[in-house]
Amino acid sequence: MGGSMFVAPEINYVALLPMIIVFVGGLVGVTVEGFASRRTRYAVQVPLSVATLVLALVALILLGQDNQGLTAADTVALDGVALTLQGLVLVLSILGLLAMSERFGGDQPDAFTQSGVSTPGSAEETLATKVGATTTEIYPLTLMSVGGMMLFVAANDLLLLFVALEILSLPLYVLSGLARRRRLLSQEASLKYFLLGSFSSAFYLFGAVLLYGYAGSMRFADIAAAITSGVGMDGLLVPGVLLVAVGLLFKVGAVPFHAWTPDVYQGAPTPVTGFMAACTKVAAFGAMLRVLYVAVEGARLEWQPVIAVVAALSMVVGALLSIVQTDVKRILAYSSIAHAGFILTGVVALDVAGVSSTMFYLATYGFMTIPAFAIVALVRSAGTEATLVDQWAGLGRRSPWIAACFTFLLMALAGIPLTSGFTGKFAVFSAAVSQGWAWLAVIGVLASAVTAYIYFTLVVQMWLGDEAGDTVVVRPSWMTSVAILVGVAMTLALGIMPSPVLDLAQSTAAFLR
Amino acid sequence: MVLTFIGMHLLAAVLAGPLVRTLGRRGFAVLALVPAGTAAWVATALLGPVRVERTGWVGELGLELSFRLDTLAVVMSLIVSGIGALVLLYCAAYIDPRSTAGSPRLLGGALVGFAGAMLGLVTTDDLLLLYVFWEITTILSYLLVGYLTTSAVSTRAARQALLVTAAGGLTMLVGLVLLGEGAGTYRISELVAGPGASGAAVAWGVGLLLVGAVTKSALVPFHFWLPGAMAAPTPVSAYLHAAAMVKAGVYLVARFAPGYADLPVWQVMVLVLGSATMLLGGFRATRQTDLKLLLAYGTVSQLGMLVLLVGYGSEAAALAGLTLLVGHALFKSSLFLATGAIDHATGTRDIRRLHGVGRAAPWLALAGVLAAMSMAGLPVLIGFVGKEAALAALLEPAPGWLSLQGVAAASFVAGSVLTVAYSLRYVVGAFGPGSPGGGSAPGAGSGAHSWHAPGPLLVGIPLALALGGLALGVTSTALEEVLARHTSTVSLLPGPEVHLGLWHGLSLPLLVSVCVWVLGALWWWRTRDPERATAPLVRVDAGRAYDRLMRGVDRAALESTGFLSRGSLPVLLGTIFVVLLVLPGLQLALGGTTWPSRLRLADSAAQVAVALLVIAAAVLATRARRRLRAVFLVGVTGYGCAMLFLLHGAPDLALTQILVETVSLVVLVLVLRRLSGRFPDDPSVLTRRLRAALGAGVGLVVGLLAVVATSSRIHEPAGAGLPERSVDYGAGKNIVNVILVDIRAWDTMGELSVVLACATGVASLVWLREEALEGVRKGLRSARGARAGWRARPVPTDTGSLPTSRWIAVADRLDPERRSVILEIVTRMVFHTILLWSVYLLLAGHNQPGGGFAAGIVAGLALCLRFLAGRGYELGAALPVMPAAVLGTGLFIAAGSAVIPMLLGSPALRTWDAYLTIPLVGEVHLVTSLLFDLGVYLVVIGLMLDVLRSLGSGLDAQIATERETAGRGTR
């Protein structure tokens, strides 16, 4: 130990401004929760949160370009990848937040319970409903989570990555448990997500410690340097990499760490599921790209086969298991598992095309998932969400526009040409093929065929099935409509004219090391 | 231009809805203008040079909108657009707009869209664009085949067609990518013209590509979807199965034949499947009683023949194939449309019920007969010209008759015989006099549907198409001039020189043709009776195999879902553990791990003993079925760890560990009151053994990792030099404490805030409601009163009872049955001693074992004792403040001690020390970080108080309330 004094690191606050805005917005939201009256909270929180996200996005666009670089003692890397993914997280979270705010003419966000901590069916719950309690804490929680996601894709240090992981995860655990209807399911989802998430985080930490032991540093650049020069402690390297990967693979819901996905996607409030599915994937894959491409790229021979097998398993299991699902939300959950596999196919490629195709796929997936879940939230039967496939029968005749949007999104999820799903799949598969992973692409295509089957069953039910008794489509307010329309429009645009976004992804696909 | 025309199709498809709604079925005639215009434009390119159009689409992915109008593309476009226009026109007379079975608007849009997609498919020069159009046709075919939305048969057929062709399309995509990547280009023209390809990747690519063609063109073993798809309205069948969809597969084979026809995989697939399909389809067609099904199986047979010819690889076969392709498009659409007219007029398509149609509708009969003659290959129609050319091309197989080519030639002849037979069956069945029992009026035998003469469009269009076949037959020399421009590029295999024409002299092909006609007529004569039962040719039914496959997939998914996603937390967790076990475990076992050369197992016998104790406790804990026992045994492992610390010479660590362990135990026991005594699940012996093995495995891996990690140290330990520095900078000899309050004081500060937040969180979960909190405050006020009273007044005695001793403050408020005098006495005696000890630990902690954290926990344990002796009341009396106040004060002091050095111009949390001599006590070493430690102390006490109050008295109150409600309920 040298006797050198601790030197305060240089921090480029301008570059960090978008994240700072989001975190400050979250804190202001907490304050509003404390001081605003019940009646006014919703009216304050919604504009506040949306404005925060928009402001952060504006800051990112205006300042990001010229303030790239490593900062905060090289623990934060604001490079093209980080900025692009941060922007994507922001855009998607704006859509997600709008969908969450849907009230359907009521006084509070429709999907959320009025007293999260009370036992379902208890006196406390009744009381909370009677006095008109609101669950506007979802706004600061969401903002915090978004801030964590933005940090997650920029973290250049294992410890900071962990901090970001927890910042983004903890609010999600809470949000998952706040569904207004089927609350026990929701609370079970929250608990499962939390317990399994904690375990994965523990594995991540264990892996990070092993890597620290290996390289003597948590910085990605130092780890990469240690791998290149070889420090003679290889026994720690590979277990460390694999355990870190476990933590990240859990977040994206890849097989065999996928088991929480269906339960949590089903139990969580539907708009939260959409937000979670879209934004968490972006953040987690962003972090995974950075860890794998920057920090441990030198050990690729050890981890590439593992990731490839995980990708293949995710695609196959996600596709096969979705066949027998009878619940729309669970179908989408298994589809998200399969999509995690598709994205991993791009990650495995390990070249610039791998990065750009992964980022592009994340964008396409995000823009099709949020509106899909927003639509699920609209289909009601007897006051609750009608998520059974049978209940969707004949929806096309009753609400042709909503059914048409959903059909289109399903086609995108299946990867039919002229939707973004096709261009995205094409991008990741061609990246994988060009690096010699053709067998993965083949499995991917076959898995797509299987998923297409289940989507078409759903489409057939919607358009050709006998009308189900009391299923109705609630008329959405402008907020849900915007979320759906923007998502559908982006899905179409990325399918027909993907060039601008692909250009962006390719021009920003280089990591700062 | 091609792009413009495709765009017009798209526009027409979008506008079809409003158009058909306002104009009724006449809207179809308007829609027909788009393909008609396209056909007219394409026709101008027939004899000109090859037109190439390229527009960038997604340059980043190598996707380009490139179109190439060579002869093959032009001929296909003419077929697609020309017949498309005629079919749409036919719809204008055929579709019943009042029918509720399907939506005519959807039909119009889908048909025009389909024509557009087919146009793109046959003109594009880009592999991926080809796939895009391919899939669009697949989806639109689903809408078209499933047009009758109320019919289960129709829906099922549509889904079957979709699944088969979409799966084939995806397979084809893999093949396209393999070919494109292998050749480094995605341009079809460059790919086909490129140097002779070979290698496994190309073979695979070609094989997968052909799977796409085989599924789309309904070749064996995927032929079953096509007859099923006859559930569609007849014009749709005419278009899809004569001109458009199924021709896509033939087109694909024709397109790639110049490049790959000599590959073995190509030869085997094209010739074997083509031959088999031709025979199977033909045989089935001779046994159908439904005109449409007859035509459907006939189509299957013809598709096999076309694929065989265009994929054969010689120039002559290609010429014959293209001629027949054109011919088939004309006669098959004519036959389908004529059948539609019959259906429209009589209400049936069953040849057992039809009679006299030929007499009643002579023009229609003319169309049908001409088209059937073309199909059978009778002169002077185009079918005859094509068949002659094909026979000439095939009858002298270059490798001899005992080869694939020989088999193909034989099958072709046999298939032609069957074609003649089913052509006759069609003509006689549709237009013949019918069974003798029929009435005099034409139409269905039962007369359920009254005959009405088909309109001019319904007759005129089939007739025009049939006459087209006649015209082309007569002018076949001119046709050859056009087609030769493409067929001259097919030169991979040698073949005889063949020309189109009606008369080549008395040649072998003509001789064979005559034999074919005679044999075909004989076959028809033997099978002419439509009432005769038909036995299947082969037992294996591809359609049933498809059903079984689909059921199998469903089943597999159900089983694996049941196996993989039970939603059970132990299983989920187990999965994660297995991964941990397998991945790093295997790496440890197989990877190049450097194991320590020497491993020191223990320093003393005591360590071994403690380790054994810990292991035994851990094993017993997993076996415990009672919660309490499990909690205690887990506690034992913790205490064992503390003992190990102690034996290793770390008393401060050991002290902290013991205290933390004790607090955890107390908290767990408090919480356990709300849970059942035993673990509710009762896993089987096998499950328990598996879990035990998993647990042991994970422990082993983690332990080994620890061994490897510690033994592979090459860096200097982080703790080196810390002892000196802790004295120099922190003025303390207890390194742990110095780290906490000085070196890493910021971390401690953060942790204090976290502790505070957690405590508040736990409390707010237990004290849900404002009223409950108010109750606590009231309780505290009364506790303060009790405290004061305890000191001031003597023990009040109830008259007549024994004098109650008051060892604790609130003894009079306790249920006498639940009091424990011994505990009260012990509490009374040791409480203050323990508190004093905690203060000592706080003060001495900087140099001796102890410190704010340990001291706080000790004080907390003292409070715990008071709680156990007298419940919440006693706790209130012991420390009659809200936990939040203690927590807040603690954090305030800690933060203040951080700020004070800053006021003096030093960095935050800077430590000074001084020695004070206090009378009686002696010299005291005062360190400013003690103030910070005091903050820690208070926060820990606050936390303990919070925990006891929430989980102790809070749960007490809940239990009491529940008991009360339960009591009221029973009453």
Q: What is the CA radius of gyration of chain B?
A: 46
**A460/B155 touch (CB, cutoff 8 Å), yes or no:** yes
The pLDDT of residue B366 is 92
Residues B743 and B880 in one domain: yes
What average pLDDT does this structure show over B631-659?
89
CB B220 within 8 A of CB B277: yes
Residue A351: closest CA among A506, A229, A243, A241: A506
CA atoms of B357 and B459, how far apart (whole Å): 13
**B554/A324 touch (CB, cutoff 8 Å), yes or no:** yes
Please spell the DSSP secondary structure of B885-910, one letter per residue: HHHHHHHHHHHHHHHHHHHTTS-TT-
B139 vs A416, A422, A441: nearest CB: A416
Residues B839 and B818 in one domain: yes
Chain B interface, best mutation among A200, A210, A237, A456, by max B CB count within 10 A: A456
Residue B83 has pLDDT above 80, yes or no: yes
Look-up: residue for tokens 């705010």?
Answer: A101
pLDDT, tens only, B870-881: 777 778 778 888
| Chain B residues within an 8 Å CB radius of A422 | 132
CB B307 within 8 A of CB B253: yes
Look-up: residue for tokens 């000191």?
Answer: B791
Chain B interface, best mutation among A223, A320, A454, by max B CB count within 10 A: A320
Residues B152 and B120 in one domain: no
> Could you tell me how many CB contacts below 8 A there are between chain A and chain B?
190
Chain B interface, best mutation among A130, A166, A167, A234, by max B CB count within 10 A: A234
| Chain A residues within an 8 Å CB radius of B128 | 426
Chain B nearest C-alpha distance from A400 (Å) = 13
How many Cα atoms sit within 13 Å of A513 on the Cβ side? 12
Residues B116 and B226 in one domain: no
The pLDDT of residue B878 is 80
Residues B114 and B131 in one domain: no
pLDDT, tens only, B22-32: 888 888 899 99
The pLDDT of residue B446 is 47
CA atoms of B170 and B177, how far apart (whole Å): 11
Give the total number of structural domains in chain B: 4
Residues B22 and B167 in one domain: no
**B576/A257 touch (CB, cutoff 8 Å), yes or no:** yes
pLDDT, tens only, B101-116: 677 778 888 899 999 9
CA atoms of A204 and A183, how far apart (whole Å): 31
**A434/B181 touch (CB, cutoff 8 Å), yes or no:** yes
Alpha helices in A231-280 (DSSP H): 234-252, 260-267, 270-275
CB B301 within 8 A of CB B481: no
CA atoms of B641 and B618, how far apart (whole Å): 12
Residue B382 has pLDDT above 80, yes or no: yes
B554 vs A323, A427, A438: nearest CB: A323
Chain A nearest C-alpha distance from B558 (Å) = 6
The pLDDT of residue B803 is 44
**From A322, which residue of chain B is nearest by alpha-carbon distance?**
B557
Residues B484 and B630 in one domain: no
Chain A nearest C-alpha distance from B698 (Å) = 12
Please report, for chain A, the start and end positions of each structural domain, with discontinuous segments joined by +: 17-507
Residue A454: closest CA among B118, B629, B162: B162
Chain B nearest C-alpha distance from A415 (Å) = 10
The pLDDT of residue A89 is 97
Chain A nearest C-alpha distance from B879 (Å) = 29
CA atoms of B238 and B336, how far apart (whole Å): 5
Q: How many other CB atoms are found less than 10 A from the CB of residue A466? A: 10
**Tokens, residue B305:** 């023949």
The pLDDT of residue A2 is 40
CA atoms of A359 and A74, how far apart (whole Å): 23
Residue B234: closest CA among B344, B81, B371, B119: B344
**From A467, which residue of chain B is nearest by alpha-carbon distance?**
B150
**B59/A441 touch (CB, cutoff 8 Å), yes or no:** no
Order of strands, sheet of A379-381, starting from the edge strand that comes earlier in the sequence: A384-385, A379-381, A471-473
Packed helices B362-376 and B382-394: angle between N→C axes, nearest 10 degrees: 10
Chain B nearest C-alpha distance from A254 (Å) = 12
Chain B nearest C-alpha distance from A196 (Å) = 7
3 state SS of A113:
coil
| Chain A residues within an 8 Å CB radius of B715 | 216
Walk along chain A (513 residues) and give the pLDDT tens digit of each residue: 344 456 778 889 999 999 999 999 999 999 998 888 888 889 999 999 999 999 999 999 999 888 899 988 889 999 999 999 999 999 999 999 999 999 888 878 888 988 777 777 777 778 777 877 778 899 999 999 999 999 999 999 999 999 999 999 999 999 999 998 888 889 889 998 998 899 889 889 989 998 998 888 899 999 999 998 877 667 788 889 988 998 999 999 998 888 889 999 999 999 999 999 999 999 999 999 999 999 999 888 889 999 999 999 999 999 988 888 889 999 999 999 999 999 999 999 988 999 999 999 999 999 999 999 999 999 998 888 888 888 888 888 888 889 999 999 999 998 887 899 989 998 998 899 888 888 898 889 888 888 887 888 888 788 777 776 788 888 899 999 999 999 999 999 999 889 899 999 999 988 987
Residues B684 and B772 in one domain: no
**B181/A259 touch (CB, cutoff 8 Å), yes or no:** no
What average pLDDT does this structure show over B224-237?
86
**From B588, which residue of chain A is nearest by alpha-carbon distance?**
A235
Exposure string over A437-451, b if 16+ CB within 10 A, otherwise e:
bbebbbbbbbbbbbb
B569 vs A192, A234, A262: nearest CB: A192
The angle formed by the CA atoms of residues A424, A426 and A432, to the nearest 5 degrees, is 105
CA atoms of A498 and B139, how far apart (whole Å): 22
Residues B120 and B154 in one domain: no
Chain A interface, best mutation among B155, B159, B173, B950, by max A CB count within 10 A: B173
The pLDDT of residue B534 is 59
**Tokens, residue A51:** 């404005």
Give bridge partners of residue A71 from the DSSP assignment.
A76
The pLDDT of residue B611 is 93
What 8-state DSSP symbol labels residue B270? I
A502 vs B61, B178, B593: nearest CB: B61
Residues B253 and B402 in one domain: yes
pLDDT, tens only, B436-452: 444 445 555 444 456 77
Which contiguous run of DSSP H or E holds residue B157?
helix B152-183
Picking from B125, B156, B184, the residue at the C-terminal end of a domain is B125
| Complex prediction ipTM | 0.72
Residues B227 and B366 in one domain: yes
Residue B935 has pLDDT above 80, yes or no: yes
Domain residues for B109? 1-125
The pLDDT of residue B442 is 57
pLDDT, tens only, B146-179: 877 667 788 788 878 888 888 888 888 888 888 8
**B174/A464 touch (CB, cutoff 8 Å), yes or no:** no
Picking from B125, B147, B173, the residue at the C-terminal end of a domain is B125
Q: How many other CB atoms are found less than 10 A from the CB of residue A14? A: 14
Residues B646 and B682 in one domain: yes
A203 vs B57, B580, B718: nearest CB: B580
CB B70 within 8 A of CB B34: no
Please spell the DSSP secondary structure of B383-419, one letter per residue: HHHHHHHHHHHHSS-TT-SSSHHHHHHHHHHHHHHHH
The pLDDT of residue B438 is 47
Chain B nearest C-alpha distance from A404 (Å) = 13
Picking from B516, B534, B552, the residue at the C-terminal end of a domain is B534
The pLDDT of residue B801 is 45
Query: Given 3-state DSSP classes, what are the helix, strand and coil percentages for chain B, each rounded to the nearest 5?
Result: 70, 5, 25
| Chain B residues within an 8 Å CB radius of A199 | 573, 576
